[in-house]
Structures are given as structure tokens and as C-alpha cells.
Amino acid sequence: MAFFEQHIHDEPKTFLSKYIISYDHKVIGKQFLWYGIFFLGVGGMMALMIRWALAYPGVAFPVIGKFIFPATQGVIPPDTYAMLFSMHGTIMIFYAITPILIGAFGNFCIPLLIGARDMVFPTANMLSFWFAVVSGLILLISLFTPLGAAAGGWTSYPTLSTMVGSPGIGQTLWCLALFVLGISSTMGAVNYITTIITLRAPGMGYFDMPLTIWGLWLTAILNAIFLPVLGAGLLLLIFDRVFGTTFFLAGAAATSGTGDPVLFQHVFWIFGHPEVYILILPAWGIVSDLLSFFARKPAFGAKATALAMTSVTVLSTLVYGHHMFTTQMSPLLTQTFMTLTMTISIPSAIFFANWLGTIWKGSIQFTSPMLFSLGVVFVFGLGGLTGLYLGTVTTDLYLHDTYFVVGHFHYTMAASVLLGGFAGTYFWMPKMFGTMMNEFWAKVHFWITMIGLNGVFMGMMIVGFAGMHRRIYNPFVYEFLERLIPLNMFITWSAILMGFAQIIFVINFVHAVFFRKEKASANPWKVGTLEWTIPSPAPHYNFKEIPVVKCGPHEFGNPALVGRDYQYQTEEVAKA
């Protein structure tokens, strides 16, 4: 039973209150979706520039290169290259994936899937979006400062990120932007946690929640705990840059007894490794539900999956040290972190096996959400297996800081999270906008994306295993890497193919939102979770009557149901 009384508020009448300064969780979810798609485009263009520089060193970037880099006749200069890979990582992680997976789906789905009319704190919800907008503007402004934006990598380790390594204001604005974004995400996290605990529909126990809600809930818990850690590190880095403190000053420990650049690495990765799971837990939850929905059978081991995700969440707080095996860490500590890292693969393997159990002998419907969900199963399997080599001290010493790490990270993060985000977008499109995207073009988008994506990220792991280090402007000045030029060209053209696929998605998405006249039915996917018991798109109040939950979200194939194979969560159907 909900702890707070849920009122039906008057529908907003003006354009400003309806679409701009909105307190409606559904509108805020859509705002985060548009925000994330915009930055996905910005970060994707930066990725193409990075790939071009590696495939064709010294060659002008085509079409727009001469306008962006007039001083070098369109050739990407080394200092700009460092800025590009730093900002690409920052934008994709914090300004594209986070808004789409957590901001958009968290805001839109949580009240609808738990039977609530809105979030517990609508004002904080509205402010969380506008804080994110302010953060994004600060980051974009940093691109136009005299010495350019941040160029110390997306991790911004000192000394690269102190005034010694980055003397311009761009790096300071980077720290400020992420600090403001942390405020936004923390407000959202507190809202998500409180809403899920207090506003669940009567009868909905924790194991009656869709696994999507489990993923978003666990993500919010990690955000609430660890974002302040990153905020503290960023604040100290701003103090070092602006006020001349020595928290991360190299060599300060030998003179004044304080200050160590490695301290920032500890602070960053205490947040940074849970961040990996902050990003992927929502995708895991979405995929766990969609596999059941489109295999037309109950999710295999749904409770075990929820508990495995919870175990991963707990263990993710203990493994950050595997990012720092090369920092002269004590051998005793490296063995401990290695053991914990291997331990986290056990619950990961459990829910991965449950995914396979859900698919096994199901009546699979190859809709676009299902294709993208199956894509997540494939790429996460690859990413998880390659992570074992980086969690083991002996192999990590060789592979650390090579493109093998980049390929692994992109398989687990970029590929899994991106495909999970697309699966959710296609699935909830009718609930968000009342229309459906074109299924044919959605499937074309999937297959071209999968081909390009695997060409890029598998290629990265191959060149990394061959010894190609990341972050180097022109690795081919080293003779032993010259033979990798053709493979880098293949990776770049795979990236161009993948980028082309996203144009198909954007056109399909914009056409469905603004130009498609045919309206979707109330329950086009024929599933029984609470959001499909109300009209599409959802009315501003969500539910006229707060629903009463009588079963779980994955009830399929009950012979007592006549004419359909799915059971609504509000139905109590007698056993046949």
C-alpha cells in the first residue's frame, strides 16, 4: 500500500507548463530522451573524427574538416585529438547514456510500471532535468574557450588535469559541468528510490515489480551513494586548479607531506566502477523483461535474476581497484581486488543463464525490441568474457591502456547499453508518443548497427592485443604498429557504417513523433504490465483508479485465459 495519498492534479494548459517547465514525469522523461539523443549525435561525431585520425593520419577530415580546423587545412591536430577523445568519453557516458537509460526511462517508466500517478517529488524531478541542461551548456561552452575543452581523458587524472597538464579554463569547466550534473543525478536518484519504496500499487511486492524497475532502483541506490564521492573529487580538483591547493599535486607528498595524484584515481574509481553498473543495470532490467515478453513465456528465474542484480550491485562497491593494478598497488591488495572481480562474474553469469533460459523453447517474436534485446545478450556475453583478462593481474599488466581495454569497455558499456536503450525506445514508443516507429526500418537499423558495432569493437580488441595503445595521436610512428593501419581503416569504416545506421533511427523516430498519423493501439505488444492497462499515450494522471496488483509481470500461457496468452497484473485468473 502506498504511504502517500496520490491526487489527480489539473492538466497544464499553457505550452510552457506542458512542455518546458513540466512537473509531469512523462514529459520530463521525454525531455531527457531528446537531450540524450542530441548528445549521442555530438559524441558520435567526435568518435568519427577520432577514428578518421587513426585510419588516415595527416589526412584532412572530409567535408567539414576545413571549416573546423582551418589552421591545419582540415587535418585534426594533436591537441584537438586529445580533446576529442576526452570529450567523447565524457559526453557518451554522462550526457548520452545516463540521460537516456536513467533520465528518460527512469522518469517515464517508474510511476507507470508501479501503478503511481507521478514521482514523490515532482519539483525535484523538474529541477533535475534543468540542472542537467545547465551542466550540458557549461560543457558545450568549454569547447569554445581559448585553449579548448578538457583534454586529460574522460577520467581526467592529475597531473594531466591540473594546471600543469591543462592550463586552460576548459578543464575547470569540465569539472564544474560534471559537478552540476552530479547534483541533477542525485536528485533523480533520491526521487526514484523514494517513489519505488512508497508509491507501489497495492499488492505489488518487490518481486512483483518488473525487472526494469529492479534495474532502475538498484542504479538509483548506487547513484545516491557514490555520486557524492565523485563530486568531492571534482571539488578538490577545482580547488587545485582555481585556488592553488595541493590535493593532487605530484611530488607534494615529498615536500609538504600532503597531495598525491594517485589519490584522485582512488576517488574516481570508487565512483567509477559502480558507475559501470549504474549505466548497465537499467539495460539489464529492460532486457530481462523484453526477453520474456517476446519469447511469450515467464521470465526464467525472475527472482534469482533480481537477487543476482542485487548481488552485482553490492559487489560493485568492492572491486574498483582492478582499474589500478599498474599504479604500484600492494600485491596483497591486487590479489584481493582480483578475487572480488572474479567473484562478481558469478551473479552476472546467473542472470545471463536466466536470459538463455527465458529464450529457450519460447515462441519468439522477432520484433525490433526483441532483436535489440537479443543483441544485448550477444554483446554483453562477449564483453563480460573479455573482462576476465582485465580483472586478472598478470594479463592486465600487458593489456592495460591498450585498445583491448577500449574494445572491452565499449562492448560492455557502449554496445550493451546502446542496444538496451534502443530496445526500450522502440518498446515504449507507443506509450510515450502514441505512435509506433516503422518496424521494417527499425530492423534495418538493428542489423546495420550490429554489423558496424562488432566491426568497431572487435577490431579494437584485436589491435589492442597486438599492442596498440590508446590515446596516442599517431601510433604508427612506431614501426611495429605500422601493419595495423589496414585494420584501423576497417574499424573506421565500420564506425562510419554504424553512424549511418543511427541516421536511419533518427529519421524513423522523428517521422513517428511528428508525421505519422496512424495511432498505436492501447497494448500493441500484448503484455500485461501496468502501463499497458491504460490508453496510449498515457494520460497526464496515468491511472484514474490506482490499480491493485494480483500477479507478477511475466504471466504467459495460462490456459484459463481465452483469446490471449498474456495476463494483466491486475487480473486474478483461476487455474485451469
Query: Distance between CA 352 and CA 387 in Å, rounded?
Result: 15
Q: What pLDDT is stored for residue 253 in this prediction?
A: 65
Residue ranges of alpha helices (H) inside 434-484 are 439-465
Please indicate, yes or no, if residue 551 is contained in any of the structural domains.
no
Q: Is the pLDDT of residue 13 over 90?
A: no
How far apart are the C-alpha atoms of 490 and 483, rounded to whole Å? 13
For residue 8, tell me if it sits in a domain: no
Pairwise CA distance, residues 230 & 268, whole Å: 6
Q: Is the pLDDT of residue 310 over 70?
A: yes
Q: 199-209: string of b/e by CB count within 10 Å (b at 16+)?
A: bbbebbeeebb
Per-residue pLDDT averaged across 127-135, rounded? 97
- Which residues lie across from 469 on neighbouring strands? 402
Residue 504 one-letter amino acid: I
From CA 355, how far away is CA 290, in angstroms rounded? 10
pLDDT at 576: 55
Residue 562 lies in a domain: no
CB 298 within 8 A of CB 556: yes
pLDDT the model gives residue 4? 62
pLDDT at 152 over 60: yes
Q: What is the pLDDT of residues 198-241, one digit of tens each?
A: 999 999 999 999 999 999 999 999 999 999 999 999 999 999 99
What is the Cα–Cα distance from 124 to 132, expressed in whole angstroms? 12
Q: Residue 565 burial (CB < 10 Å; 0-12/13-18/19+)?
A: middle
36 three-class SS: helix
For 498-501, the CB contacts below 8 A with 24+ separation are: 498/448, 498/449, 498/452, 498/453, 498/455, 498/456, 499/44, 499/47, 499/48, 499/452, 500/448, 500/452, 501/444, 501/445, 501/448, 501/449, 501/452
**400 lies in a domain?**
yes
Residue 529 pLDDT: 95
Distance separating alpha carbons of residues 61 and 76, to the nearest angstrom? 7
Count of domains for the chain? 1
- For residue 372, what is the enclosing H or E element? helix 368-391
Q: Which residues, at least 6 apart from 565, have a Cβ–Cβ distance to it below 8 Å?
A: 296, 526, 556, 557, 558
pLDDT in tens, 299-308: 999 999 999 9
What backbone torsions phi and psi does residue 549 show, to the nearest 5 degrees? -85, 135
Cis peptide before 331 (omega within 30 of 0): no
CATH of the domain at 200: 1.20.210.10
The answer to whether 426 and 368 have CB atoms below 8 angstroms apart is yes
In the predicted structure, residue 3 carries a pLDDT above the cut 60: no
Query: Nearest Cα to 49, choosing from 82, 87, 81?
Result: 81
In angstroms, rounded to a whole number, what is the distance separating the alpha carbons of residues 371 and 109?
21
Chain segment 488-505, per-residue pLDDT in tens:
999 999 999 999 999 999
Question: What is the per-residue pLDDT for 251?
Answer: 75
pLDDT at 1 over 60: no
pLDDT per position as a tens digit, 445-495: 999 999 999 999 999 999 999 999 998 999 999 999 999 999 999 999 999
285: cell is 532490467
The continuous run of DSSP H or E covering 260 comes out as none
- What confidence tier does 563 reach under pLDDT thresholds 50, 70, 90? confident
Residues 6+ apart with CB under 8 A from 2: 116, 198, 199, 200, 201, 202, 546
Give the residue-averaged pLDDT of 138-146: 95
Contact 64, 245 (CB under 8 A): no
User: Per residue, what are the HEC states of 528-547?
Assistant: CCHHHHCCCCCCCCCCCCCC
Asked if the structure places residue 120 within a domain, the reply is yes
φ, ψ of residue 149 to 5 degrees: the values are -80, 180
Q: Running DSSP on this structure, what letter comes out for residue 556?
A: B
CB atoms within 10 A of CB 561: 17
Kindly state the helix (H) or strand (E) to which residue 524 belongs, with its residue range: none
Percent of the chain whose predicted confidence (pLDDT) is above 70: 98
| DSSP secondary structure code for residue 23 in this structure | -
* CB-based contacts of 34, cutoff 8 Å, min separation 6: none
CB 240 within 8 A of CB 170: no
pLDDT at residue 179 greater than cutoff 50: yes
Q: Which DSSP category does 495 fall into?
A: H
How many Å apart are CA 62 and CA 517, to the nearest integer?
38
b (16+ CB within 10 A) / e for 324-349:
bbeeebeeeebeebbebbeebbebbe
Please give the radius of gyration of the chain, using alpha carbons only, rounded to the nearest integer.
24
Q: Which secondary-structure segment (H or E) carries 567?
A: none
Mean pLDDT of 308-333: 91
Task: State the Cα–Cα distance between residues 255 and 276, nearest whole angstrom.
Answer: 36
Residue 313 belongs to what domain range?
Answer: 28-249+257-533
Kindly report the CA angle at 448 between 442 and 449, in degrees rounded to 5? 85
Q: Is the pLDDT of residue 348 over 70?
A: yes
Helix, strand or coil for residue 319? Answer: coil
For 77-97, the pLDDT digits (tens) are 999 999 999 999 999 999 999
Cell numbers linked to 451: 554489423
Domain annotation covers residue 555: no
CA distance 366 to 439: 10
| In the chain, % of residues over pLDDT 90 | 81
Joined grid coordinates for residue 29: 522523461
Does a structural domain hold residue 554? no
What's the length of the chain?
576
DSSP code for 436: -
Q: Is residue 10 part of a domain?
A: no
3-state SS, one letter per residue, for 305-341: HHHHHHHHHHHCCCCHHHHHCCCCCCHHHHHHHHHHH
pLDDT at 5: 65
- How remote is the C-alpha of 44 from its chain's centroid? 14
Which of 209, 112, 146 lies closest to 541 in space, CA to CA? Answer: 112
pLDDT of residue 575: 64
The pLDDT value given to residue 158 = 92
Average pLDDT over residues 275-294: 94
pTM (2 decimals)?
A: 0.94
